[in-house]
């Protein structure tokens, strides 16, 4: 049995023996914290041997037990197992081809001696004896609110209080890590409430659960933004998270000697200084609003704003509006303006990936994040691990195959869209269905109705041109034509996430950390070399005690566990030697095994 041989070779410190258990031509070991204290994928036998040479002593003894029954299909055998290392327990998954490992996942789930207090370990909550002046739960919470960040410093400071910050805060709370979440907005969920009123989540409900508290089974497939805001506020309260609203991070500096941050914040007009040991930037997918500067903008007589500042189209009723950009926000804002009887023109500067929400749901219905998955007994935690079991390298052919399938099934839709003059593609390498976070697509729209308005001419589009200048009365395009405008909305996206590090800490720290997001796919938006995992996300960075946490709801939920375990281990003084695989130059995709995997997993 492969797992028994793997366990024996590890415990014997027989790195060559472990190496021989992996396929010689193509193999992958994806580790989430358990061996590498990192989120890392080792591609090929050499990378696996190199990792074990530095990490194996800190892992042993290794014990594993098969979970359930292995599954065989299309020449592959795959199965799940539980495992223990010297410091923790985890879940594993292996795919075997011709008896040797093709893909291996090892994902840490808990630290020994620091298990979460759930299930049979849940706290009593009360002492059943007579006590004078007993402190109530309300009084205890009030005391924590009074002292944390003032008399007692948090171990972790999370900057950003939307779904990412709250998911991580909940994980750290369960692990007993003193944590303070700060956000410039007043309440948890306000980041959703403050957006334009027509906004709905574009991801379906099965993907969007937060840790510990899933949505009820009557929850709609697509959630309204105010409904999501209410849920997040409830979540923060029920999970007893320590949250400072109306608090803006002003600047931060790391003291190498003291191993503490000095963070200056403005809380409701009062400047305060916090001294956390770890700082996590949970400020969303991207960085600071990207507001272009065009010649003559200061002369414009109408309204100019970035999409992040846009709230409601009612004030633009009957007005002539120009929206610069063609991503999700641009489409949603154009639809909102149209619904308020504005005359709308979208400026599309480059092709946009457009995929109908119904197409994404068709693909999802065959996978674990679906009602079919729920009916098959696949809970959210298992669904997350199933998706994580496939290395990013092998997701590319699947993404490409799914894009081709979508284009074929929705051919009539794309014919209409092309006839309208709207420019679209599926990313530089045809994998854009998974490209939003991999940085493979410059513009992305999950179509929830905006494309039909474009096809019908209700939303006008000027494609393949940019803005040359702004006049008092409108916009001059790069082809020399002019558009009158009462309002200009810049749906021009955001800068890179590391921009927050530059703004709050220093340019030197931002340059030391480097890029966030992207894999190194060697495309225009994601230059190489290939790293095999998302850069700097949920794992150690080159700046000690600085972490990045973000993404959509599934990423925030799943990786909040891995980040929380890393932070807890450091708080408890555990040895956490970090292994970083070498970045590599990409080899051509399309190996026979990759094609087989794409066929099986699509």
Position 442 scores a pLDDT of 63
DSSP-based three-state secondary structure for 53: helix
pTM (predicted TM-score): 0.93
- Residue 155 is encoded by which pair of tokens? 């171990």
Q: What is the mean pLDDT of residues 99-125?
A: 96
pLDDT higher than 80, residue 591: no
DSSP string, 350-409: S-BEEEEHHHHHHHHTTSSSSHHHHHTT--HHHHHHHHHTS-HHHHHHHHHHHHHHHHHH
- Residue 418 to residues 421, 456, 463: CA-CA distances in angstroms? 5, 12, 11
pLDDT higher than 50, residue 543: yes
Position 199 scores a pLDDT of 87
How far is Cα 433 from Cα 445, in angstroms, rounded to an integer?
A: 10
- Residue 264 is encoded by which pair of tokens? 């200056």
Position 301 scores a pLDDT of 96
* pLDDT tens digits for range 578-587: 999 998 755 4
Position 597 scores a pLDDT of 34
Position 312 scores a pLDDT of 87
Q: For residue 492, how many other CB atoms are within 10 A of its CB?
A: 20
How far is Cα 143 from Cα 249, in angstroms, rounded to an integer?
A: 24
- CA dihedral 152→157→162→168, nearest 10 degrees, is -100
- Residue 420 to residues 417, 457, 459: CA-CA distances in angstroms? 5, 8, 10
Q: How many CA atoms lie within 13 A of 382 on its CB side?
A: 14
Domain with CATH 3.50.50.60 in the chain: 138-287+495-571, 297-356+389-490
Asked which of 527-536, 552-561, 570-579, 581-590 is least confident by mean pLDDT, the reply is 581-590
How far is Cα 540 from Cα 477, in angstroms, rounded to an integer?
A: 44
- Residue 333 is encoded by which pair of tokens? 């804002």
Position 50 scores a pLDDT of 97
- Residue 199 to residues 193, 334, 359: CA-CA distances in angstroms? 9, 12, 19
DSSP state of 458: S
- Residue 418 is encoded by which pair of tokens? 């092309």
Domain with CATH 3.10.450.50 in the chain: 2-114
- Residues in a beta bridge with 120: none
Looking at every residue in the chain, the average pLDDT score rounds to 92
Question: What CATH architecture is 138-287+495-571?
Answer: 3-Layer(bba) Sandwich (3.50)
Residue whose C-alpha is closest to residue 442's, from 550, 352, 518: 352
Task: Give the residue ranges of DSSP H helices in 12-59.
Answer: 15-20, 45-59
Question: Which fold does the domain 297-356+389-490 belong to in CATH?
Answer: FAD/NAD(P)-binding domain (3.50.50)
Residue whose C-alpha is closest to residue 561's, from 212, 260, 285, 214: 212
pLDDT higher than 80, residue 602: no
Is 2-114 assigned to CATH 3.10.450.50?
A: yes
Proportion of the chain above pLDDT 90, given as a percent: 81
CB 522 within 8 A of CB 586: yes
Position 435 scores a pLDDT of 62
pLDDT higher than 50, residue 53: yes
Q: What is the mean pLDDT of residues 273-290?
A: 87
DSSP-based three-state secondary structure for 597: helix
CB 68 within 8 A of CB 80: yes
DSSP string, 285-327: SS-SB-----TTGGG--SEEEEGGG---GGGGTT-EEEEE--S
Helix 45-59 and helix 2-11, axial crossing angle in degrees, nearest 10: 60
How far is Cα 332 from Cα 343, in angstroms, rounded to an integer?
A: 15
Pairing of strands 460-463, 343-348: parallel
pLDDT band at 593 (very low <50, low <70, confident <90, very high): very low
- Residue 195 to residues 181, 187, 521: CA-CA distances in angstroms? 21, 14, 32
- CA torsion sign for 207, 208, 214, 216 is negative
Q: For residue 554, how many other CB atoms are within 10 A of its CB?
A: 18
Q: For residue 260, how many other CB atoms are within 10 A of its CB?
A: 18
Proportion of the chain above pLDDT 70, given as a percent: 95
């Amino acid at each position: 049995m492969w797992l028994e041989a793997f366990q024996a070779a590890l415990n014997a410190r027989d790195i060559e023996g472990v190496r021989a258990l992996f396929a010689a031509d193509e193999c992958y070991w994806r580790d989430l914290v358990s061996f590498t204290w990192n989120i890392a994928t080792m591609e090929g036998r050499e990378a696996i041997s190199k990792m074990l040479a530095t990490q194996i002593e800190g892992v042993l003894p290794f014990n594993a037990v098969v979970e359930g029954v292995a599954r065989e299909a299309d020449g592959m055998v795959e199965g799940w197992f539980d495992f223990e290392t010297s410091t923790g327990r985890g879940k594993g998954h292996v795919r075997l081809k011709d008896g040797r490992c093709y893909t291996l996942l090892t994902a840490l789930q808990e630290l020994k001696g620091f298990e979460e207090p759930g299930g049979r370990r849940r706290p009593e909550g009360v002492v059943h004896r007579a006590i004078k002046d007993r402190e109530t739960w309300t009084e205890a919470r009030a005391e924590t609110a009074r002292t944390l960040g003032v008399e007692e410093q948090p171990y972790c400071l999370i900057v950003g209080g939307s779904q990412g910050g709250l998911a991580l805060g909940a994980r750290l709370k369960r692990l007993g890590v003193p944590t303070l979440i700060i956000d410039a907005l007043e309440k948890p969920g306000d980041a959703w409430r403050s957006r334009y009123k027509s906004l709905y989540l574009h991801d379906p409900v099965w993907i969007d659960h937060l840790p510990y508290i899933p949505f009820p089974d009557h929850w709609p497939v697509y959630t309204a933004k105010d409904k999501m805001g209410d849920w997040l506020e409830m979540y923060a309260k029920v999970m007893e998270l320590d949250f400072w609203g109306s608090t803006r991070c002003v600047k931060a500096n790391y003291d190498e000697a003291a191993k503490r941050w000095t963070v200056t914040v403005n809380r409701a007009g009062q400047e305060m200084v916090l001294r956390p040991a770890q700082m996590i930037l949970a400020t969303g997918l991207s960085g600071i609003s990207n507001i272009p500067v065009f010649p003559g903008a200061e002369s414009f007589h109408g309204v100019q704003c970035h999409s992040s500042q846009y709230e409601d189209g009612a004030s633009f009723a009957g007005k002539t509006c120009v929206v610069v950009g063609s991503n999700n926000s641009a489409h949603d804002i154009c639809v909102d303006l149209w619904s308020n009887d504005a005359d709308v023109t979208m400026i599309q500067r480059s092709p946009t990936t457009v995929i109908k929400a119904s197409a994404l749901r068709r693909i999802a219905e065959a996978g674990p994040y679906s009602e079919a998955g729920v009916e098959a007994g696949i809970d959210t935690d298992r669904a997350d691990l199933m998706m994580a079991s496939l290395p990013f390298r092998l997701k590319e052919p699947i993404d490409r195959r799914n894009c081709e399938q979508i284009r074929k099934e929705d051919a009539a839709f794309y014919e209409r869209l092309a006839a309208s003059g709207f420019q679209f593609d599926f990313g530089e390498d045809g994998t854009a269905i998974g490209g939003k976070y991999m940085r493979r697509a410059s513009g992305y729209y999950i179509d929830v109705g905006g494309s039909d308005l474009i096809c019908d001419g209700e939303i006008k589009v000027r494609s393949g041109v940019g803005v040359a200048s702004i006049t008092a009365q409108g916009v001059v395009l790069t082809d020399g034509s002019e558009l009158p405008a009462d309002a200009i909305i810049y749906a021009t996206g955001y800068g890179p996430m590391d921009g927050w590090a530059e703004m709050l800490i220093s340019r030197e720290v931002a340059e030391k950390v480097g890029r966030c997001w992207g894999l190194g796919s060697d495309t225009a938006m994601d230059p190489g070399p290939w790293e095999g995992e998302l850069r700097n996300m949920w794992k150690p960075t080159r700046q000690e005690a600085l972490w990045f946490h973000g993404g959509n709801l599934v990423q925030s939920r799943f990786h909040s566990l891995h980040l929380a375990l890393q932070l807890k281990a450091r708080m408890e003084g555990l040895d956490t030697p970090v292994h970083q695989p070498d970045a590599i130059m990409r080899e051509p995709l399309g190996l026979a095994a990759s094609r087989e995997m794409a066929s099986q997993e699509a």
